[in-house]
Structure 1
């Protein structure tokens, strides 16, 4: 529940890194007594697949965005993001990469591609003061909570009854929680705010509804199916809107990055400005979803402008 999602590219697809587009000759890649597989055979087959098509799209997108926003995405930042996820997973990092169809190189490429997309969205998506104040109103700063994780609702109800009768939360966590990362510390978690992407969304929501010293009176079912009892230990003081304005902009940007139509539409606009021309007939439609999203975004913007003027 607490670890970062390793598959960071969720909108345009994983940069699978099929380094095949320089191939295409008669050189044999494999031979057998049944015949040979040439570079041309391989390329022809792979480019018909969805993975091959998406790889070509990603290659085009990365080249275009790198020209426009590459200076904003430093190797240092990419390496920092990579190292952060690697340290979260520790010895299981390589296995997690493999289970997501990634290598160290393609994961690093995925991080860079996502960062370029974020830079493009940030440059094209503007937020009003009203938008930012709305984000501020629903924002809860760092919360320090303790949790007890159990497998079923019945067990959670029994533990809540014990808490109601005066039992110590930390002791119950040590004796009953199935969360190996927190149980030995009485259920205490690292601090997180209401925008956390590393804590289960249902746990975050339930925590924001608690006051200091309170615990959930009903079991909180996580998105993974486990049940949680959550106790609020303390909440950081919420700073002024002026102090948090830049953070609110990042929060709104995070939300925009989760909106596939927005991200693909902005990418489509960037591709249109780059005058991309695909020469291979088998790959002619690899950018179709982006141009369609850009057209829809333009239509929506025109309609909104017309409604405002009326």
Structure 2
């Protein structure tokens, strides 16, 4: 008769140990060699073997002491600061973007802009010319107080008193016309800006006045209107045409002949050089009241000249190309 088979009793402690090891077991999948942050770092977790992505944790740990790349937007206060920032961080792919918005002009430098050339969409590792475009500096051109004041009233009707108060407040911006401008002849002896203003007056049939004339108008200006009846008869048909011819006169009965142009010299941007511009002055009679309308002549051309001058200074100082418009968001 053979001996009975005997089994050694199980050790509960060892069994519990094995169970806990099995529960806590995890498997690492595709571990990036050398902590390659361009690849995902995946592991399986014991709960139903759930896959957990630890890539963000690895990247956060790697960037704890040093960021992997530059990012952020700097807001600089003047053009010189934008130029200094650009020269500090620019590279072969850096680019300037100039937005010529008359209300909110800006100049932006993207230090890590995309490289030139067509995109490579077939490269499985990604387009080698693509960049994040996350490292930027923006300069918001501050419009001068004078520019904002004149643009605010340009083309809008004002009462006689309101016009007078505005003219007194902005008297420092108004220039009296030079003898050459008053003479109204374009010659080679004149300054270029004088010829430009003379040509403007000729285009709109205007005449330049002085500051004291504007102030006198705002204080004493009165308009008297007379109407004459004109009847024209066609002898062949017998038809008659009746017209009322209105004429504005001053308090003494003389025909009004007032200057309708003034010269202002104001900077477009805060701290910038002043630009001479023509302002057209008109009046409109409505019953017993008179409304004045002052309109800057072609302000967009002056703004364009000042903006392009600033952009040209930035491109020359940084050696970068400037594109008109706004960059990709």
Q: Please say whether Structure 1 and Structure 2 have the same fold, judged by a TM-score greater than 0.5.
A: no
Considering fraction of residues, name the structure with more strand. Answer: 2
**TM-score after normalising by structure 2:** 0.20
**TM-score after normalising by structure 1:** 0.21
Bigger Rg over Cα = 2
